[in-house]
Amino acid sequence: MRPKVLFLTRWYPNRVDKLDGNFIENHARAVAMYCDLAVLYVGADPGMSEKKYDWDVKEEFGFPVVRVWYRNNDVGKTGFARIVKFFRYLRATRIGWKLIHRKFGVPQISHVHIFTRPVLLAFYLQWRYDAPYLMTEHSSHFVHELPRWLPPKKQFAQFAARRAKFITVVSETLQKAITDFGLHGRYAIVPNVIFSPPLTLTSRSETAARIVAIGGLTDERKNITGLIRAFGEIHDRLPETTLHIVRPVPDQHLMQAATATGLFNSRIFFHDYLGNEEVYQLLSDSSFLVVNSLSETFSMSAAEALACGKPVITTRCGGPEEFVSEERGRLIDVNHPEQLKEALIWMRNHYREYDPQKLKSFIRENYSPEVVGKKFLGLYELALGK
């Protein structure tokens, strides 16, 4: 019998941010292969003016998704305002639970994503219906810069961690960072889900080389500017090579760095607002990917490049070194431009030596939705005493 699972999350693709927590959506799609699933997202909408609460209920990928928004732009940022926002969150959660109960019924197990607020409903479901809960933490803040929580919040998180049947993380690096922060529990590593690209995507075979890098909303961790500078300094040693940078929004700092090299729109190109299929197409048309990050908990872009049969240059920044080995790419130190330059030159000359089918098979065997979904199913069954 398929377990009934409820995802409780404050990150999920929604009308405010269509990419927010898309890796949680991928986990949901994997879990839905083996469980009856519903998702409850509760978050603030800074653009709301006429309503205090709004919601929608949709069927997505074969399971119901309830999204509830609350207004948080009318009370300021004082201590009292934070109390008001918290009680609005509670009210929004109550609205969401009623919708879930009506549409989905009572779950056998709750799966909480991201410390700490979503666990409140999990506590209620545990008390009211004897439904145990798991927690999954995705945040790179624990790796990049430890969050600064007031003692009551940290103590609450520690209590929630201890009561969880399992705490899952996507890498050993993230697990160590969280436990060093003081959140102890029964940990299990369950990686992100990587969907294999459509079979229609094929690589171009030509002498020119294309390097791809994928940035974030800011360049604080991705360090694309460092890659641009390194590429600009050795471009004469990279014949017929272009650098393609994917960014979710235009970034003036990246534009300035590219312009300073004199290679903007001749050897360095930006790609904005690309969807998943467009990113896969760009990766399939590329020669290799570069991850020049200062910190990562996993690195979806590195795994997606391998899924497209492309090798990866990555810094030892936390997550990628757990699956990028010499047979899949090159590892370099963080903030080491000379190593980056050497790796770019070497990979430009050797990227064809990697076997695309072996790279693709590695991802399918370890990070496919089938593999990840079964790992979660095993944890759910253990939590339910099966």
Percent of the chain with pLDDT over 90: 75
pLDDT tens profile 315-373: 999 889 999 999 999 999 999 999 999 999 999 999 999 999 999 999 999 999 999 99
pLDDT at 43: 95
H or E stretch at 245: strand 241-247
Residues 183 and 225 in one domain: no
What's the whole-number mean pLDDT along residues 248-255?
86
Question: 335 and 372 share a domain?
Answer: no
Confidence class for position 138, pLDDT limits 50, 70, 90: confident
With respect to residue 34, please indicate whether it lies within any of the assigned structural domains: yes
Same domain, 173 and 312: no
* Alpha helix stretches (DSSP H) within 130-266: 141-144, 151-163, 172-181, 224-234, 252-261
Q: Cβ neighbours of residue 334 under 8 Å, at least 6 residues apart?
A: 293, 294, 295, 315, 316, 317
Dmax over CA atoms of the chain, in Å, equals 67
Q: What pLDDT was estimated at residue 203?
A: 53
**Do 170 and 237 reside in the same domain of the chain?**
no
Residue 203 lies in a domain: no
Distance in angstroms (rounded) separating the CA atoms of residues 235 and 345: 9
Residue type, 85: K
Q: Could you tell me the pLDDT band of residue 18, with boundaries at 50, 70 and 90?
A: confident
Per residue in 168-201, pLDDT (tens digit) is 999 998 999 899 999 999 999 999 999 988 655 5
Place of tokens 């520690």: 158
The distance in angstroms from the start CA to the end CA of the chain is 11
> Which residue type sits at 53?
Y
Pairwise CA distance, residues 183 & 354, whole Å: 40
Asked if 77 and 63 sit in the same domain, the reply is yes
Report the range of poorest mean pLDDT among 134-143, 258-267, 303-312, 358-367.
134-143
Share of the chain above pLDDT 70, in %: 97
- pLDDT of 251: 84
CB distance 68 to 93 below 8 Å: yes
User: Which CB contacts under 8 angstroms, 24+ apart, belong to 15-23?
Assistant: 15/45, 15/67, 15/69, 16/43, 16/44, 16/45, 16/46, 16/47, 16/69, 19/248, 21/113, 21/138, 23/138, 23/192, 23/193, 23/300
Q: 257 is written with which tokens?
A: 């760095």
* 313, 252: one domain: yes
Regarding whether 247 and 166 lie in a shared domain, the answer is no
Measured distance CA(294)–CA(291) in Å, rounded: 9
Q: Are residues 171 and 187 in the same domain?
A: yes
Answer yes or no: is 355 within a domain: yes
**Residues ≥6 apart with Cβ < 8 Å to 268:** 228, 231, 232, 242, 243, 245, 258, 261
Contact 310/289 with Cβ under 8 angstroms? yes
What pLDDT score was predicted for residue 205?
54
Q: What is the pLDDT of residues 81-107, one digit of tens each?
A: 888 899 999 999 999 999 999 999 999
Read off the pTM: 0.88
Structure tokens given for 249: 């929004």
Q: For the chain, what is the mean pLDDT?
A: 92
Residue-range definition of the domain harbouring residue 44: 4-193+368-383
Residue 7 — φ and ψ, nearest 5°?
-80, 130
- Most trustworthy range by pLDDT among 63-67, 150-154, 251-255: 63-67
| pLDDT single digits (tens) 203-225 | 555 678 999 999 887 788 899 99
199 assigned to some structural domain? no
The pLDDT tens digits for 268-323 are: 999 987 877 888 999 999 999 999 999 898 999 999 999 999 999 999 998 899 99
300-307 and 356-367 helices, crossing angle to 10°: 130
Is 200 part of a structural domain of the chain? no
Q: Which burial class, exposed, middle or buried, applies to 249 when counting CB atoms under 10 A from its CB (0-12, 13-18, 19+)?
A: exposed
In this predicted structure, which of 47-51, 125-129, 337-341, 351-355 has the lowest mean pLDDT? 47-51
The winner for highest mean pLDDT among 110-114, 136-140, 177-181, 202-206 is 110-114
Are 224 and 299 contained in the same domain? yes
Question: Does 349 map to a domain?
Answer: yes
**Based on the domain organization, do 20 and 167 belong to the same domain?**
yes
Looking at the structure, tell me whether residues 224 and 361 fall in a common domain.
yes
Q: 198 in a domain, yes or no?
A: no
Q: How are strands ordered across the β-sheet holding 241-247?
A: 268-272, 241-247, 209-214, 288-291, 312-315, 329-332
CA distance 384 to 111: 12
Is the residue at 147 inside a domain? yes
Q: Is 178 within 8 Å of 142 (Cβ atoms)?
A: yes
**CATH number of the domain to which 259 belongs:** 3.40.50.2000
Q: Report how many domains make up the chain.
A: 2
Is residue 291 within 8 A of residue 323, CB to CB? The reply is no
Do both 129 and 277 map to the same domain? no
